[in-house]
Structure 1
């Protein structure tokens, strides 16, 4: 999955990671963010730049009409499960649901941007390749710096911050459980970087062959195909460890932490519903104007 497709599809999904009060603003400005980011990957001018903007607008409209109602339903269901206490099956359900939404959005993003990619010149493809290389160097700086002990300490801090966004401050015992997760799950950022490069190479090969319209949508949704077995095994072990962490933490949530967790999920559902309603009003507005 290339950085270009990740950017187009994930800009819509990224609002889920923002605070509820900021989520609507983040989502409504996702198309602007994508345009800004896309310009650093795709060296487009004139009509080609206008074409990209039109395709981003069309994808954003599709996402509001098709994906947001599903997000709202998923958030409501997740809140109900969180309120009664999540089980390992609930965690798998949440992961599978999110991945299904990601694949659907990636397929649609790929389908919409592919004709433009098929018209890129060799120089424009080379520019995109250079940007991928810059991204890879940034990934290495942010994830592969320092000793194993330092990297595990960074993993612990990041995991703790994400969890506290959802449930509020962790107790000492809960933080210790997070630390154990960080210490026991494999460090595999070198394998992650190698897989990023594999996906980028596959994407660039498709674009250079001018076969994006024919092949990109399928490639975008099957990014796990062709993974190094060592990377697949490490990724599975990491995910299993994280799922076990979530299940253990849920058993220890205080009443305040659970209320925080449930309220956050319900807030997302309400914001998604509001965005869906706003999009419906926008679609209806031109029809309501007198001729």
Structure 2
């Protein structure tokens, strides 16, 4: 589990610093084109096609996915007012991941449409740029000692909890540090997973014997069925990680002061209000 998240509610792509959630959401077609440009140069027709496909995805997400996230946030807001165990928090996480998989499956067709339109040169450019990014990230992590990795993890977790709860008590800080120290490092497994997916993508992009149906089918496997590229050890460590952090969340929730409770409710209400605004903007 990503330790930066206190209550894991994935709202698709709404996390650019300095920009409001509603601004990002309402400009997704343009932002998607801007992001893709970091990996491959699209011609005008492809860029137009990408924006149209992202706009269709956004309309679906606004009408279908956001109401689900809103309901889950309301359920969480109601639930945190009473004692919660780790299992309940895990169930919320599983629900949010299920909603995320819906988004991934819905996004599959737009990605396929763009991929089909790419030339051999564009496919090579895309793979090379993704490979460079993975290698750069790996080098940056390799420069950190295990102690530095733990320190970064602690800092990120403390920052996340402070964002959700405000000032933390000494006991809460101690609990967070304890959980951070108990979290196994999965950086090598994570990069291995990324490399396996990239290798699979490179293989699909370079095969000249695939017809369009086979190309779409194999690319869908890479996009949707991501677990197949994770090692058994990575999957096992991730499962332990989920339970470790769910237990931490339950312990932290049990120690909330009245002020922290109000702060958490306020933060959840901000997300709910943003979702309401986004949904209303689509009417």
TM-score by length of 2: 0.87
Q: Does the 8 Å contact 1:11/1:30 carry over to 2?
A: no
Between the aligned partners of 2:47 and 2:277, the Cα distance in structure 1 is 31
Q: Paired residue for 1:33?
A: 31
Residue in structure 2 matching 1:279, options 268, 279, 282: 282
CA change 1:204–1:108 in 2 (3 A) is farther
Q: Paired residue for 1:254?
A: 257
Q: Which runs of 5+ in 2 are unaligned?
A: 1-8
Q: Please state which structure has a larger fraction of its residues in helix.
A: 1
Q: Aligned residue pairs: how many?
A: 269
Residue in structure 1 matching 2:185, options 184, 187, 191: 187
Between the aligned partners of 1:30 and 1:119, the Cα distance in structure 2 is 21
Between the aligned partners of 2:171 and 2:143, the Cα distance in structure 1 is 28
Q: Paired residue for 2:119?
A: 121
Name whichever of 205-214 and 165-174 sits farther off.
205-214
Q: Paired residue for 1:263?
A: 266
- What secondary structure sits across from 1:252 in the alignment? coil
Q: Does the 8 Å contact 2:29/2:54 carry over to 1?
A: yes
RMSD: 2.3
Name whichever of 82-91 and 182-191 sits farther off.
82-91
**Alpha-carbon offset, residue 12 of structure 1:** 5.6
Matches for 1:78-89 after TM superposition, within 5 Å: 78-89=76-87
Following TM superposition, where does structure 1 have runs of at least 4 consecutive aligned residues deviating by more than 6 angstroms? none
Q: Does the 8 Å contact 2:112/2:216 carry over to 1?
A: yes
Q: Paired residue for 1:227?
A: 230
Q: Does the 8 Å contact 2:40/2:126 carry over to 1?
A: yes
Matches for 1:210-225 after TM superposition, within 5 Å: 210=212, 211-225=214-228
Q: Which runs of 5+ in 1 are unaligned?
A: 1-9, 281-291
CA change 1:178–1:18 in 2 (3 A) is farther
Between the aligned partners of 1:253 and 1:77, the Cα distance in structure 2 is 18
Say yes or no: does 1:166 pair with 2:155.
Answer: no
Q: Deviations over 1:160-203 (max 9, x none)?
A: 11111111121122111111111121111011100011122223
Q: Does the 8 Å contact 2:193/2:231 carry over to 1?
A: yes
Q: Paired residue for 2:245?
A: 242
**Alpha-carbon offset, residue 134 of structure 1:** 2.1
Q: Deviations over 1:227-262 (max 9, x none)?
A: 211111221222221111111111111111111112
Q: Does the 8 Å contact 1:115/1:212 carry over to 2?
A: no
Between the aligned partners of 2:230 and 2:44, the Cα distance in structure 1 is 38
**Alpha-carbon offset, residue 81 of structure 1:** 1.0
TM-score by length of 1: 0.84
**Alpha-carbon offset, residue 212 of structure 1:** 4.5
